[in-house]
Structure 1
Amino acid sequence: MPFFNTYDPKLLDNVKHVHLIGCGGSGMYPLIQILHTRGLTLSGSDVEETKITESERAMGMTVTLGHNAENVKGADLVVYSAAIHDDNPELAAARAHGIPAVERSVLLGYVSRMYPMTVGVSGTHGKTTTSGMITTMLELAGRDPAAVIGGKLPLIQGYGKAGSGQTAVIESCEYHETFLHLTPYIGVILNIDNDHLEYYHTMGKLKLAFQKFALLSRTVVFNMDDHNTVDVVNSIDRPVLSFGIEEEARFRAVNIQEYRPGFYEFDVNELDDHFAHLRLGVPGYHNIYNALAMCCCVRPLGLTPADAERAAESFKGTGRRFEVKGETPSGAVVVDDYAHHPAELAATLATAHKMGYDRIIAVHQPFTYSRTKALMDDFAKVLNTADVCVLLPIMGSREVDDGSVHTEDLAAKIPGSVVVDGLESAAAWVRENARKGDLVVCMSCGDLYKAADLMVR
């Protein structure tokens, strides 16, 4: 079976039929939309029916439930999601019949080259929000961008779209170096933190991956206040645009103030000149940095400061990013957030504390054994800032439980914390114990959102 570890300009030549294994995922769907507009015949398979598979059927795509070797018959190219294992029968059939097969992130690199101006948004934290802001800016400016985003953006009613314009906004994840398949017109680096070290092992190797990403970009937008990012950018020979609050960046936020609890407005200076006045439609001090990254993209994309101002106020967030789900029967407000790293939990809880609620109840589902074990003390320090902490079992995802770390180990470092045995128990505890005046913040990149849905009326 051919493997494509480097860019092959002929990979898509003469490809008329693409089969996608795991087609029901949110990461696959924007790619499917883009390929559909290019006139390709598409088929796919997944294990269950979802709103995404329903939408794919509606566009004329053949979707099969369950994986079967027969499904790849007639395909010129097979694409599989990262969740698909080597022993998948469809992947095995592709090998047996010599059909080229590539992982989703590889195809994303090829698709990104279909657009002259691609914005690749990378960083340990803030990728989805910043991608959503930049997409909003382009959409409201009438540029009809393509987009591949990690969260659902209400403005485009999905996780992405196939735009007819010249631009594409792509959330560019460092996990297993998948962002190195991209060659962005603008490469954004929001920050670099100690995550995915089960793969990289050291911060030096993680920073090296970001250095490679920067070198693949034509222009680099970077956070001047983040020391790891500055280390990376200081070693490259690309045009750069910096943003920040503390340091003397090219785009700097000044005169920062809250216009209502947790929501900020501020002036943006480009060097010493006024660039724009932004009022954010999403809460959280950390979102000032995300908006500044958006401002850096304005001139390279041929937009105006007014486009950034309109986008900042119009952008109300993406799914699972401080998303208000509703109220419990007793009147407590429930929020769902994708935070799964201590720095992200800290930003989310800091935002929550600014909003004037009587109590903050943090509900956390640890994600992956390696991250929980490596960052145990950091998780405990952050979760101790909540008034009440409810902990679920660790969700291993792609990792195997070796028995070396448990939720109870984390709970022992958080006095008064509550350990529950699953999603339903977490929802039941909140419904029984949360009261009016409480803000319940559910934080995980796993399936904790299901418990959040059960908590509300």
Structure 2
Amino acid sequence: MFDGIQHAHFVGIGGIGISAAAKFFLDQGITVSGSDVMSSPITDELEKMGVSFFSGHLGENVAAKTNLLIYSPAVPADNPERVFAKEQGIPQMSYPEVLGEISKHYSTIAVCGTNGKSTTTAMIGLILEAAGFDPTVIVGSKVPSFVQGNFRSGKGKYLVVEACEHQANFLHLHPEIVVITNIEEDHLDFYRDIDHIRDSFQQFIDRRKGKGFVVYNKDDQESQKLIIDNSISYGHQQGRYQYYDREVLNGRQWAEIRDQEQDVSLQKLELIIPGEFNLLNAFAAFTTSLSLGISIEIIQTTLANFSGIWRRCEHVGTWHGAEIISDYGHHPTAIEGTIHALREFFRDKRIIHVFQPHQHARTKLLFNDFVRVLGQADKTIITEIYEVKGRTNEKEPISSYDLVKAIKHQDPEKSIVYTKDLSHTEMALREIVQDNDVVLIQGAGDIDLLARDLT
């Protein structure tokens, strides 16, 4: 697969996705080193696994014996380590290119979509594990039952991988089976519009190897527009496999399953994680796994025991008598769905929403959608936008304060405040939080640090 590679150096190794690739290389017996702007729990874990980690980026971090340099897509070409590697003639690959190379050697199940990728990837990986398929899994989160969190080493033929559409990175993959959760406007700093996004998904499903199939959410309007042969669909209102009679009670949810093609009712599906969006994620995993010949009983038991993954509506502890939930959601649809899910699961409690927008371009381009969904909790705190290095357009500045002003303009009665950083956010929470509250701390940036610090 990576013949002749004895030492790989990763630039930006602290990312949740690229760190899984580093673990894959370690599993192959390859020496791994890496760097990032600072240490983190992820890099600490990698060091314990034998990775030589460097805090900060310097050309001298790249050992002379390095055979391959792998970099995060966020790392520019003028990074000192990339410059040094170029001068020394060391081959370079991006993280998506590496995933693509890995995927050539497996029957790859690639999970893509605007929302729900990580959860669905984890669910499918766990079901295949329970069925004895011994899959390799690479996921952009941490799965509690996987020893290495975001990576599972397997000897079977399947690779289950989270496929990200940002900058059309998933087009490097060579999938056999494609799972599409949904398609919405996002990453509009790269894509022109929803048509451009959908075209990329079309290109992706057209890359399938052999007789591979596509699993998709037929309730999703944009997915319906794709031209797909050999497909299996799921959904609530449409699809071969549909759910109905959904119930939510005491921190659990159930739904009946029906095979519309065979006109038969199947067994109930039970989940202990909140949200109808998670039920749809589970149905994507159910449909994929059933299509691979796995028994309904194994699928049902695995999903019923699925307790969630890192930063996906994750209960991290209590603080001043309030439940603290950390969530990665940063798209308007994910925000709205998560608040609604917590309302269902915690019917008699106040919901306090702390949100950190992620990336200036996304905030600007989806501004009206953010204004629509933010402020739906009992009280809302919006802290300043998390700045993604190299992706801030100074010519078109925008602040979280603009969101707060727009929301208050629409409804002056909304209980919503702006904070300039995490320390001020904690101060604001101290004034708001009461015993028995539920505090949702949400965003894809460093807002999770606040959730961990509080508990």
What is aligned with 1:228?
Answer: 222
What is aligned with 1:260?
Answer: 250
8 Å CA contact retained: 2:426, 2:450: yes
Map 1:234-313 to 2 at 5 A.
235-236=227-228, 238-247=229-238, 249-260=239-250, 263-270=252-259, 271=261, 272-313=263-304
State the 1:451 CA deviation. Answer: 1.6
CA distance in 2, matches of 1:46, 1:273: 53
What is aligned with 1:30?
Answer: 20
8 Å CA contact retained: 1:357, 1:438: no
Kindly tell me: are residues 109 and 387 of structure 1, through their superposed partners in 2, closer, same or farther at Cα, counting changes over 3 Å? same
CA distance in 1, matches of 2:376, 2:128: 38
1:370-401 alpha-carbon deviations (Å, 9 max, x no partner): 11112222112211321111111111213224
TM-score scaled by length of structure 1: 0.91
Deviates more, 1:151-160 or 1:293-302: 293-302
SS of the counterpart of 1:397?
A: coil
8 Å CA contact retained: 2:358, 2:443: yes
Q: Does 1:345 align with 2:335?
A: yes
8 Å CA contact retained: 1:187, 1:220: yes
Deviates more, 1:166-175 or 1:68-77: 68-77
8 Å CA contact retained: 1:76, 1:100: yes
1:228-280 alpha-carbon deviations (Å, 9 max, x no partner): 01101xx23x3101001111x1111123222435x321122222123332101
Q: Does 1:413 align with 2:406?
A: yes
What is aligned with 1:215?
Answer: 206
CA distance in 2, matches of 1:411, 1:266: 38
CA distance in 2, matches of 1:64, 1:434: 39
1:101-137 alpha-carbon deviations (Å, 9 max, x no partner): 011111011112232x221110000111111111121
CA distance in 2, matches of 1:47, 1:202: 33
Q: Alignment partner for residue 11 of structure 2, among 21, 34, 45?
A: 21
What is aligned with 2:439?
Answer: 440
SS of the counterpart of 2:167?
A: helix
Q: Does 1:186 align with 2:186?
A: no
SS of the counterpart of 2:75?
A: coil
Deviates more, 1:375-384 or 1:117-126: 375-384
Kindly tell me: are residues 370 and 61 of structure 1, through their superposed partners in 2, closer, same or farther at Cα, counting changes over 3 Å? closer
Kindly tell me: are residues 388 and 90 of structure 1, through their superposed partners in 2, closer, same or farther at Cα, counting changes over 3 Å? same
State the 1:77 CA deviation. Answer: 1.5
8 Å CA contact retained: 2:128, 2:289: no
Structure 2 unaligned segments of length 5 or more: list them. 409-414
- Look up the equivalent residue of 2:142 and give its one-letter code: K
Q: Does 1:392 align with 2:386?
A: no
What is aligned with 1:428?
Answer: 427
State the 1:93 CA deviation. Answer: 1.5
SS of the counterpart of 1:216?
A: coil
8 Å CA contact retained: 1:428, 1:455: no
What is aligned with 2:412?
Answer: none
State the 1:403 CA deviation. Answer: 4.8
Aligned length: 439
What is aligned with 1:4?
Answer: none
State the 1:26 CA deviation. Answer: 2.0
What is aligned with 2:30?
Answer: 40
8 Å CA contact retained: 1:72, 1:78: no
- Look up the equivalent residue of 2:23 and give its one-letter code: Q
CA distance in 2, matches of 1:22, 1:210: 27
- Look up the equivalent residue of 1:205 and give its one-letter code: H
Provide the identity percentage.
33
Q: Alignment partner for residue 97 of structure 2, among 106, 110, 114?
A: 106
Quote the RMSD (CA, aligned, Å): 1.8
CA distance in 1, matches of 2:454, 2:362: 27
1:138-158 alpha-carbon deviations (Å, 9 max, x no partner): 222233221111111101041
- Look up the equivalent residue of 1:408 and give its one-letter code: Y
Kindly tell me: are residues 24 and 370 of structure 1, through their superposed partners in 2, closer, same or farther at Cα, counting changes over 3 Å? closer
CA distance in 2, matches of 1:28, 1:182: 15
- Look up the equivalent residue of 2:449 and give its one-letter code: K
8 Å CA contact retained: 1:47, 1:66: yes
Structure 1 unaligned segments of length 5 or more: list them. 1-10
What is aligned with 1:324?
Answer: 315
Map 1:369-384 to 2 at 5 A.
369-384=360-375
- Look up the equivalent residue of 1:260 and give its one-letter code: N
State the 1:224 CA deviation. Answer: 0.3
8 Å CA contact retained: 2:24, 2:151: no
CA distance in 2, matches of 1:87, 1:45: 15
Q: Alignment partner for residue 141 of structure 1, among 114, 131, 144?
A: 131
1:42-89 alpha-carbon deviations (Å, 9 max, x no partner): 332334334433443444443334333231422222111123221112
Q: Alignment partner for residue 74 of structure 1, among 65, 69, 75?
A: 65
8 Å CA contact retained: 1:22, 1:28: yes
CA distance in 1, matches of 2:430, 2:103: 45
